[in-house]
Chains A and B, each alone.
Chain A
Amino acid sequence: MAQNEMLAMILAGGRGSRLKDLTTKVAKPAVFYGGKYRIIDFPLSNCANSGIDIVGVLTQYESVLLNSYVAQDGRWGLDSKDSGVYVLTPREKADEGLDVYRGTADAISQNIDFIDTYDPEYLLILSGDHIYKMNYAKMLEYHKAMNADATIAVRGVPMKEASRFGIMNTDGKGRIVEFEEKPAKPKSNLASMGIYIFTWKPLRKMLVEDMKNPNSNHDFGKDIIPKMLNDKKGLFAYEFKGYWKDVGTIDSLWEANMDLLDPKNPLSLNDSSWLIYTEDVSTLPQYIGNDAKIKCAYITQGVRVEGSVTNSVLFTGAVVEKGAKVIDSVLMPGVVVEEGATVTRALVAENVRIGAKARIGSKNSENIELVAKNVKGGTK
């Protein structure tokens, strides 16, 4: 891709409050996933693999960890001479004073000066909290071929669930004729993935106008896209067929981790042509002890297993001591399950200790148990 033809902006300000205690101190894009990754590694790696050089990351909610995490752009190979990952938090401005990002479009509007320094032809807008692998260069090709003003990535969802999503109705040739947010009676099953490519100049003009509009929510879905449709601009749907997850809840985060245990799992993190990059750690490889029993598990370096692990995902540095059992669970980095403890259908947060002989969760529970605090040892 030619230098700075397309710049990417990742919206990473969301809290993800349904992830409860997992996001009290970090924003949702920084939540751990898949044994060694954080969710934002996916859009960042996709950018790197798609040949995008400049990525702006728009953060707001509890951004300390996220800001320092993404600033180390070498992790994704985005540290060559003309590339970089830039953290863009709300800032005080000479004429308006300090302001927060009021909506997704406003976050971009407030950084028009940043985008202008690179003078891109196209702007790619991504969400920082989705898990998927996608080649944005192909989407850009489509955008150009359609001579579009905006291209929106969509994916087919089951028709009966379509009323939970923002649905794009097309003319059958890819042109979007109508956008309905959570329609009671959906006319199509093409849900917006929150991934947009805009031709920058016309978008820039719209954003400047939108900033001045007191009746606007300054949101792409609520304001910018409807206005573009109203103005008869060229909006096209780009259908994506791969694995895609927006993990909104503890259950869905657990489920997305469990998806990795399926040998035919379509996310295929093993594919060397499209690796997902992340923080590098200096640890031993995983050590599997003398009495260990492992069946169906996804385990990363630095883990030590002396007990039994079934159907579970274990993150960096997790320890399962002798006689401990971990079943249908996710252990985030640094979790220790002490001797004889049992963890079933649970998601255990970073660095939590489960005391000896404690019992967490149950086989038939309706929901996945989130364990965010140390658990004292049990007696049995």
Chain B
Amino acid sequence: MMSIKAFGIVSSPDNSVHVEGLQDYRPIGAFSFLGRFRVIDFPISNMSNSDINRIQVYVQSRPRSIAEHVGSGRHYNINSKRGKIQLLFSENSSSRSIYNNDISAYLENIDIIQRMHQEYVIIAPSYMVYKQDYRQLLETHVASGADITLLYHKVDNAREYFKNCHTLSLNRQKGVQSIGKNMGTAKDKNIFMETYCMKRDTFVQLVKAASWESSIYTLSDIVNIKCKDLDVRGYQHRGYFATLTSLNDYFNASLELLNYDIASDLFRAEWPIYTRTTDSCPTEYFESSKVTNSFVSNGCLIEGTVENSIIGRGVVIKKGAVIRNSIVLAYATVEEDIRIENAILDKWAHIIHAKEIIGEPDAPQYIKRQDTL
């Protein structure tokens, strides 16, 4: 693999983001996605496929699942000598504190950032799902002579979706005039994908400037302020894009991929999404199984009915059980004749006594990890 002139940073969300239920157990990057992936597989695979072989992953709290999943990084196809995936923790103990933001994490590790050999940095979030060749982003950035290039996605449903996401105001030349928040006031918006391309030195200066001005400034805050002085430009992303900053977003983004055309656009043979194997065997479908329009992972035993759902690894669905429009995470068990609709079952949940678990399409019912119902 050739390597490019940029290193990668996979960033953590700031503390305004909290996904009900799921995030109590792991950071968003470690959320299961489409059964066999975790969200963080997407930014890391994008970087690996873009020939970026030095990657820093920032972890704020509950690092176990991310540390276990990323491991040595070998499964992300990164050369184990030339390349490296580093997990960087912010030591700030109060993880929910307003001070514990991305800038404070970068500042704590600024010496490591400054020592990187690469001239450029690509920063991508661990809480969004999309496919992007960063070589193209970097090429455009360098050719334009801009100081900072930001990745954005044009949407026409910003009234209902992408609430609280950052937005970009662009001029005709794709110059970024400011970064704002989506308050759901208009349908057409340029959603900022929290993805940055700039020189490493520019990045270091921004981090220092942010902390100098205010200890609660985030990277997007300081870039917004610097829009006046620096040449900040937008780069439009096309294709599937999802933000996973609320339980509803997670639910909708997952089920949207049940449209196989959308899913096969995100997963292309020439752009593999790597993940850590768990060595589970194939899934067994029994005589009484009825499965339609669903993604099913390996290691499951299916006797019941599954419709429009995403089934994680090693899930057991007994006879007569019916799962509709739901996400069932790994190793959950649904006993006989139980009906589940519009729900998210977390890992190791065991549904025995509850006859029905019914949520609404716009308000999925969440069942806790290892809960027995």
Tell me if B54 counts as interface (CB < 8 A to partner A): no
Cα distance A287–B275 when bound, in Å?
18
In the assembled complex, how far is the CB of residue B196 from the closest CB belonging to chain A, in whole angstroms? 27
- 29 inter-chain pairs at a CB distance below 8 angstroms, sorted by A residue, are A34-B282, A36-B281, A260-B284, A263-B284, A263-B286, A270-B299, A275-B279, A275-B281, A278-B279, A284-B34, A284-B267, A285-B311, A286-B298, A287-B296, A288-B291, A288-B292, A288-B293, A288-B295, A290-B292, A291-B292, A294-B285, A295-B285, A296-B286, A296-B287, A297-B285, A298-B282, A299-B283, A299-B296, A304-B260
CA distance A292 to B291 in the complex (A): 7
B1 within 8 A of A: no
CB-CB nearest 10 A-B residue pairs? A282-B272, A35-B282, A269-B281, A300-B282, A285-B35, A280-B277, A297-B285, A285-B297, A275-B279, A288-B291
Which residues of B from 310 to 350 have beta carbons under 8 Å from A? 311
Contact (A298, B284) CB under 8 Å given A282-B272, A285-B35, A285-B298: yes
- Any A CB within 8 A of the CB of B246: no
By a CB distance below 8 angstroms, the chain B residues around A330 are none
User: Contacts of A301 on B, CB cut-off 8 Å?
Assistant: 36, 282, 297-298
Q: B257-285: which residues lie under 8 A (CB-CB) from chain A?
A: 260, 263-264, 267, 272-275, 277, 279-285
CB distance from B362 to the nearest CB of A (A): 23
User: How far, in Å, is B18 (CB) from chain A's closest CB?
Assistant: 28
Asked whether B295 lies within 8 Å of A295 as measured between CB atoms, the reply is no
In the complex, per-residue mask of A311-348: 1 if CB is within 8 Å of any chain B CB, else 0: 00110000000000000000000000000000000000
> Using Cβ atoms and an 8 Å threshold, which residues of chain A touch B273?
282
A273 within 8 A of B: no
Neighbouring B residues of A35 by C-beta, 8 Å: 281-282
Smallest CB–CB gap between A46 and chain B, Å? Answer: 14
Rounded to whole angstroms, the CA-CA distance of A298 and B284 in the bound complex is: 5
Q: Are B274 and A282 in contact (CB under 8 A)?
A: yes
Closest to B283 in A: A299
A59-109 CB contacts (< 8 Å) to partner B:
74
Q: Which residues of B contact A280 (CB under 8 A)?
A: 75, 277
- Give the dominant DSSP class at A's interface: loop
Interface check B289, CB cutoff 8 A: yes
Task: Give the contact-size bracket for chain A.
Answer: 35 or more
Q: Does A364 contact B (CB under 8 A)?
A: no
Q: Which chain B residue shows the least CB distance to A37?
A: B281
Residues from chain B with a CB closer than 8 A to the CB of A74 are 74
A345–B274 alpha-carbon span in the complex (Å): 35
Set of chain A residues within 8 Å of B275, measured between Cβ atoms:
282
Q: Which of B264, B294, B306, B311 has the most CB of A within 10 A?
A: B294
Q: How far is the CA of A269 from the CA of B285 in the complex (A)?
A: 14
Give chain A residues whose Cβ lies under 8 Å from the Cβ of B279.
275-278
Question: Which residues of A lie under 8 Å from residue B289 when comparing CB positions?
Answer: 294-295
CB contact list, B33-56 vs A, under 8 A: 34-36
Asked if A289 lies at the interface with its beta carbon under 8 angstroms from chain B, I say: yes
Instruction: Report the bound CA distance from A275 to B313 in whole Å.
Output: 14
CA distance A289 to B296 in the complex (A): 11
Interface on chain B toward A: helix, strand, loop, or mixed SS?
A: loop
Tally chain B residues at the interface, Cβ within 8 Å. 37
CA gap between A32 and B290 in the complex, in Å: 28
Cα–Cα distance between A6 and B291 once the two chains are bound (Å): 47
In whole angstroms, what is the CA distance A285 to B329 when docked? 13
Q: Is A215 in contact with chain B by the CB < 8 A criterion?
A: no
Q: Is the CB of A287 within 8 A of B295?
A: yes
Interface assignment of A213: CB less than 8 Å from any CB of chain B: no
Contact between A284 and B282 (Cβ–Cβ < 8 Å)?
no
Q: Contacts A282-B272, A282-B275; is A299 near B292 (CB within 8 Å)? A: no
Chain A residues with CB under 8 Å of B298's CB are 36, 285-286, 300-301
- Least Cβ–Cβ distance between A368 and chain B, in angstroms: 20
Residues in B neighbouring A289, C-beta threshold 8 A: 260, 292-293
Chain B contacts of A290 at CB under 8 A?
292-293
Q: Is residue A283 within 8 Å, beta carbon to beta carbon, of the partner chain?
A: yes
**A9-56: which residues lie under 8 A (CB-CB) from chain B?**
34-36
**Complex Cα–Cα for A300 and B285 (A):** 11
Instruction: A7 to B286: give the CA distance in the assembly, Å.
Output: 41
CB distance from A259 to the nearest CB of B (A): 12
Minimum CB–CB distance for B212 against chain A, Å:
43
Most buried by A among B272, B274, B286: B286
CA A292 to CA B290, docked complex, whole Å: 9
A295 touches B277 (CB 8 A): no
B327: shortest Cβ distance to chain A, in Å? Answer: 12
Among B36, B277, B279, max chain A CB count under 10 A is at: B279
B267 and A287 form a contact (CB under 8 A): no
Q: In the assembled complex, which residues on chain A have CB atoms less than 8 Å from the CB atom of B34?
A: 284-285
Complex Cα spacing A282 to B273, Å: 6
In angstroms, how far is the closest chain A Cβ from the Cβ of B330? Answer: 11
When the two chains form their complex, are residues A287 and B281 in contact, meaning their CB atoms are under 8 A apart? Answer: no
